[in-house]
């Protein structure tokens, strides 16, 4: 189709770049774009039921494919709904282009119906956001947005008034196609020498590996072997670092367990690789820190860094390795591995599912799901306790992938991220580990699964509460308040929406329910009623947190909630 309008140029250039679908909800300010897509036939419209879901879906696709993903919202409220998902994409640094339609150009500034100023509103959740105010400006704005999204692996927003989209397109640019950014430079030799001197002089080196190790696995394992260093991984590093790794000792932080915390605490040198791990209380107090990151602004944000190395993790480790003296004393590594084996055994013991016992332990649900899911399954997990169970019980193996709102920390991310994963990989098994609160927040996206026949499998951890919020209240010594969820039978809701739905209330029902859902050729939901009082304890409690729990127990008794104390005493958290 010959491109004559700005809308046709927009859609055509996306198609030329290999983009074959766009997530969003149309509206009159997007009519030109929708019509160009209809007539062109090269880019599909993935109609979500909420624009927030569209942005989350695009972000998940961009994360999994490392390619540009696109979402759109109509003027005013339509594109405002994109903001939360775009914040997640921006903070996770994935390439997403958002089209924010605008009211007619002649009405901007008049207080017109649905008027907002998206170029200002989106500024904080993007690397580039600009209004096209004239047809001659379109090519430059669109080109720069594409280059920012792809080249910087970030969010770019094009604000396009609906009337301009119908106008004749300017002459096509002669600028070469968008390409990815080159790898970050290797740190200078003198900086590598300083890092090598620190690492060679250390007795106990521990590595903290994050998402920046995605393409540095061989280099990471070689350096760990040279340094006889245990590797602690972050949640975003889990899918790249954890599997088939003889040096892995688990996670630290709020989602982790004690072996990772102990390995970092025992180190005299901490080597941070591609991570901006945010929780300062989990960093070692006295270790010297060497940090490698592509982004200079992330170095030293969380802890004092003695040797900053700005560079790509793989290329930096390649350059650093010849400067490292192999260590012969494996005491630190062996102790960390022994701690990990014990912590892993304890976690596995918590994932019990004896027949007839209720309520169901959520750890058991995660363990069953892990054992039954495909070797190349794509998982998305809601924030809160589903992320804890995913971090502790899903086994990565290379082909398996895991997405979540790990930096932005938004509720309701799992289902829309699963939509993006399934659209991008129609032949892969996609599983959403949803909390009952998260699922309910964007429940309408069940209809997106139905409409597009997306065979996403949803496992709902239904504890009737905002579980992680309750945990935070208890650790602060507060009685839980405003966290109750009066839920329906989500399996019945799923069946009413045209999905396969099954409910499990006893442990012996979990395996058959998950098996049936995974085998179903279309979208399916498993509603599992799990223990509300299961406490996902961090690997180390501060005195304030420990005293907070004690205060909570005292308040519970004084307020006539002694049954909760009894239930807690018999729950997994004391074992």
> How much is the pLDDT for 474?
84
Question: Are 118 and 237 found together in one domain?
Answer: no
Please state which of the ranges 114-128, 356-370, 545-559 shows the lowest mean pLDDT.
545-559
- The pair of structure tokens assigned to 246 is 């003889």
281 noted as active-site residue: no
The token pair at 299 is 């170095």
Same domain, 226 and 369: no
* Strands of the 307-310 sheet, one edge to the other: 231-233, 205-209, 269-273, 288-293, 307-310
Q: Who wins on pLDDT, 544 or 129? A: 129
In the residue annotation, 113 being an active-site residue is answered as yes
Print the SS3 string covering 177-211: CCCCCCCCCCCCHHHHHHHHHHHHCCCCEEEEECH
181 found inside a domain: no
Domain-embedded: residue 174: no
pLDDT digits (tens, 9 = 90+) for 467-506: 889 888 888 889 989 999 999 999 999 999 999 999 999 9
Phi, psi for residue 286 in degrees, rounded to 5:
-120, 0
pLDDT over threshold 60, residue 564 = no
Segment holding 457, helix H or strand E:
strand 457-462
Q: 346 lies in a domain?
A: no
Q: Is residue 171 part of a domain?
A: no
Mark whether 151 and 264 lie in a shared domain. no
Residue 184 falls inside a structural domain: no
Q: Reduced to 3 DSSP states, what percent helix, strand and coil does the chain have, rounded to the nearest 5?
A: 45, 15, 40
Which pTM value belongs to this model? 0.93
Is 425 a residue of the active site? no
Count of structural domains, the chain: 3
SS3 of 285-352: the string is CCCEEEEEECCHHHCCCCCCCCEEEECCHHHHHHHHHHHCCCCCCCHHHHHHHHHHHHHHHHHHHHCC
What is the reported pLDDT for 174? 65
Is 483 within 8 Å of 469 (Cβ atoms)?
yes
Cβ-based neighbours of 176, under 8 Å, separated by 6 or more:
none
Q: What is the mean pLDDT of residues 349-353?
A: 93
Q: Given this model, what pLDDT does residue 542 score?
A: 53
What local confidence, expressed as pLDDT, does residue 171 receive?
A: 78
Same domain membership, residue 505 and residue 451: yes
Q: Which of 13, 102, 114, 119 is catalytic?
A: 114
- Lowest pLDDT segment from 4-8, 27-31, 291-295, 563-567: 563-567
- Kindly state whether residues 257 and 288 are assigned to the same domain: yes
The pLDDT of residue 556: 46
Q: Please indicate whether residue 550 or residue 331 has the higher confidence score (pLDDT).
A: 331
Beta bridge partners of residue 168, listed in sequence order: 5
Handedness of CA 21, 25, 29, 34 (dihedral sign): positive
**Residue where a domain terminates, one of 341, 376, 407:** 341
- Assess whether pLDDT exceeds 90 at residue 535: no
Catalytic residue among 43, 94, 313, 383: 383
**Has residue 530 been placed in a domain?**
yes
pLDDT, one tens digit per residue, over 311-331 is 999 999 999 999 999 999 999
Asked if 383 is an active-site residue, the reply is yes
Same domain as 127, residue 16 = yes
pLDDT exceeds 80 at position 549: no
Residues 153-177 have a mean pLDDT of 88
Q: Which of 117, 132, 166 is the last residue of a domain?
A: 166
pLDDT, mean of residues 460-465: 97
Out of 122, 247, 468, 552, the active site residue is 468
User: Where a domain ends, among 289, 307, 341?
Assistant: 341
Residue 255 forms part of a structural domain: yes
Whether residue 525 is found in the same domain as residue 556: yes
What are the residues facing 459 on neighbouring strands? 433, 526
Task: Please check whether residues 442 and 321 belong to one and the same domain.
Answer: no
Question: Is 459 an annotated catalytic residue?
Answer: no
- Mean of the pLDDT values across residues 441-454? 98
At 540 the pLDDT is: 53
Per-residue pLDDT of 33-92, as tens digits, reads: 999 999 999 999 999 999 999 999 999 999 999 999 999 999 999 999 999 999 999 999
Instruction: Supply the CATH number for residue 316's domain.
Output: 3.40.50.1220
Sign of CA dihedral 519, 522, 528, 532: positive
Q: What is the mean pLDDT of residues 243-267?
A: 94
pLDDT in tens, 81-137: 999 999 999 999 999 999 999 999 999 999 999 999 999 999 999 999 999 999 999
Closest residue by Cα to residue 381 from 239, 195, 233: 239
Would the pLDDT of 545 be above 80?
Answer: no
In percent, the amount of the chain with pLDDT more than 70 equals: 90
CATH number of the domain enclosing 377: 3.40.50.970
Confidence band of 165 (pLDDT split at 50, 70, 90): very high
Query: Is 130 domain-assigned?
Result: yes
- Determine the structural domain holding residue 526 and report its residue range: 351-574
104 and 127 assigned to the same domain = yes
How many whole angstroms separate alpha carbon 65 and alpha carbon 147? 17
Residue 178 backbone class (left: φ over 0; alpha: ψ -120 to 50; beta: rest)? beta
- Averaged pLDDT of the chain: 92
Q: How many CB atoms lie within 10 A of CB 310?
A: 20
Same domain assignment for residues 270 and 215: yes
pLDDT at 573: 42
Burial class for 206, CB neighbours closer than 10 Å (0-12, 13-18, 19+): buried
**What is d(CA 529, CA 359) in angstroms, rounded to the nearest whole number?**
7
Which is more confidently placed, 560 or 508? 508
**What percentage of the chain exceeds 90 in pLDDT?**
85
Q: Which two tokens stand for residue 132?
A: 């096209």
**Distances from the Cα of 429 to the Cα of 366, 418, 446, 502, angstroms:** 16, 10, 17, 18
Q: What is the mean pLDDT of residues 273-279?
A: 94
- Given a cut of 60, whether residue 348 has pLDDT beyond it is yes
Query: Which residue in the list 8, 9, 10, 51 is annotated as catalytic?
Result: 51
Same domain, 554 and 430: yes
Strand partners, 13: none
Residue 562 pLDDT more than 80? no
The pLDDT-based confidence of 158 (bands split at 50, 70, 90) is very high
Please name every residue paired with 5 in a beta bridge, in sequence order, or none if there are none.
168
Residue with tokens 């005491």: 331
Q: Are residues 564 and 536 in the same domain?
A: yes
Question: What is the per-residue pLDDT across 238-249, written as a single tens digit (0 to 9) for each?
Answer: 999 999 999 999
Residues 261, 277: contact at Cβ < 8 Å? no
**CA dist list (Å): 533 to 8, 15, 411, 433:** 55, 50, 20, 19
CB atoms within 10 A of CB 145: 25
pLDDT confidence band for 254 (50 / 70 / 90): confident
């Amino acid at each position: 189709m010959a491109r004559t309008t700005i809308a046709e140029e927009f859609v055509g250039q996306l198609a030329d770049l290999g983009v074959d679908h766009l997530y969003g909800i149309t509206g009159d300010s997007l009519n030109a774009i929708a019509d160009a897509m209809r007539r062109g036939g090269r880019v599909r419209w993935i109609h979500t039921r909420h624009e927030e879901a569209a942005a989350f879906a695009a972000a998940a696709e961009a994360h999994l494919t490392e390619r540009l993903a696109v979402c759109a919202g109509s003027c005013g409220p339509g594109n405002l709904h994109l903001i939360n998902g775009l914040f997640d994409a921006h903070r996770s640094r994935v390439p997403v282009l958002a089209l924010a339609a605008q009211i007619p150009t002649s009405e901007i500034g008049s207080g017109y119906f649905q008027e907002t100023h998206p170029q200002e509103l989106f500024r904080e959740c993007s690397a580039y956001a600009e209004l096209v105010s004239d047809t001659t400006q379109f090519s430059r704005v669109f080109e720069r947005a594409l280059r920012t999204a792809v080249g910087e692996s970030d969010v770019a927003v094009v604000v396009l008034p609906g009337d301009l989209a119908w106008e004749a397109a300017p002459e096509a640019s002669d600028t070469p196609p968008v390409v990815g950014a080159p790898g970050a430079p290797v740190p200078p030799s003198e900086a590598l020498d300083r890092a090598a001197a620190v690492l060679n002089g250390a007795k106990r080196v521990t590595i903290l590996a994050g998402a920046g190790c995605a393409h540095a696995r061989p280099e990471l394992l070689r350096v760990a072997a040279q340094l006889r260093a245990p590797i602690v991984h972050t949640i975003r590093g889990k899918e790249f670092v954890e599997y088939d790794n003889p040096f892995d000792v688990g996670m630290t932080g709020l989602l982790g367990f004690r072996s990772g915390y102990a390995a970092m605490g025992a180190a005299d040198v901490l080597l941070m690789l591609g991570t901006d791990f945010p929780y300062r209380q989990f960093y070692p107090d006295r270790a010297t820190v060497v940090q490698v990151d592509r982004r200079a602004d992330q170095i030293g944000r969380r802890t004092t860094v003695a040797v900053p190395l700005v560079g790509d993790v793989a290329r930096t480790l390649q350059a650093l390795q010849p400067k490292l003296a192999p260590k012969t004393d494996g005491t630190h590594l062996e102790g960390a591995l022994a701690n990990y084996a014990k912590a892993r055994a304890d976690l596995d013991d918590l994932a019990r599912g004896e027949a007839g016992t209720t309520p169901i332990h959520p750890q058991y649900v995660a363990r069953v799901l892990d054992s039954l899911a495909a070797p190349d399954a794509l998982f998305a997990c809601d924030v809160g306790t589903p992320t804890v169970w995913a971090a502790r019980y899903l086994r990565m193996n290379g082909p398996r992938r895991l997405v979540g709102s790990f930096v932005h920390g938004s509720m309701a991310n799992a289902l829309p991220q699963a939509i993006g994963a399934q659209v991008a990989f129609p032949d892969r098994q996609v599983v959403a580990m949803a909390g009952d609160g998260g699922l309910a927040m964007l429940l309408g996206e069940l209809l997106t699964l139905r409409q597009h026949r997306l065979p996403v499998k949803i496992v709902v951890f239904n504890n009737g509460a905002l579980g992680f919020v309750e945990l935070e209240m208890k650790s602060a010594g507060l009685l839980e308040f405003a966290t109750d969820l009066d839920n329906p039978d989500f399996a019945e809701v799923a069946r009413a929406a045209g999905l396969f739905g099954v409910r499990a209330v006893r442990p012996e029902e979990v395996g058959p329910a998950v098996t049936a859902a995974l085998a179903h050729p279309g979208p399916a939901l498993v509603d599992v009623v799990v223990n509300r009082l299961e406490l996902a304890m961090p690997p180390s409690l501060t005195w304030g947190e420990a005293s907070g729990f004690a205060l909570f127990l005292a308040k519970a008794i004084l307020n006539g909630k002694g049954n909760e104390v009894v239930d807690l005493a018999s729950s997994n958290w004391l074992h």
